[in-house]
């Protein structure tokens, strides 16, 4: 018997981790969704039992797949298809980031240089 598999971007959208499938697909392409610490494409076929890491804002969420659904459903049904294994310290990052403000560029300064962008990413990763 063949094991059922589903595209990762479709599953992330269906279980309401991302608001749209396009956002889920873009997150996969940019490396914010990982399985076993490996970047994956939006077309990656997931199966029940896999562990998924999703980086949204500054929080690193960890999920275990318990069910596969293709269509977006209510949140009560969606939460039965995964187990949220995100550590409490990760969830508390969001609260602490509200107190510590990340430096912003002034209006009219233009885009950051590559060096400035890397420094900003380092600061964001700390929190």
pLDDT in tens, 1-39: 457 889 999 999 999 999 999 999 999 999 999 998 899
- What does the pLDDT read at residue 2? 55
Q: Are residues 72 and 97 in the same domain?
A: no
Alpha helices per DSSP H over the chain: 8-14, 21-29, 75-78, 88-99, 114-126
Host domain of residue 124 = 87-127
- pTM assigned to the model: 0.71
Do 117 and 63 belong together in one domain?
no
Residues counted in the chain: 127
Domain shared by 51 and 9, yes or no: yes
């Amino acid at each position: 018997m063949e094991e059922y598999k589903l595209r990762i971007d479709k599953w992330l959208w269906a279980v309401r981790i991302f608001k749209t499938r396009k956002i889920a697909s873009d997150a996969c392409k940019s490396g914010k969704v990982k399985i076993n610490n490996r970047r994956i494409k939006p077309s990656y076929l997931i199966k029940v039992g896999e562990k998924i890491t999703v980086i949204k804002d500054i929080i690193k969420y960890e999920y275990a797949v318990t069910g596969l659904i293709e269509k977006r459903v209510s949140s009560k049904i969606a939460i039965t298809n995964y187990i949220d294994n995100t550590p409490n310290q990760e969830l508390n990052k969001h609260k602490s980031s509200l107190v510590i403000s990340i430096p912003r560029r002034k209006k009219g300064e233009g885009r950051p240089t590559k060096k400035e962008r890397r420094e900003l990413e380092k600061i964001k990763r700390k929190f």
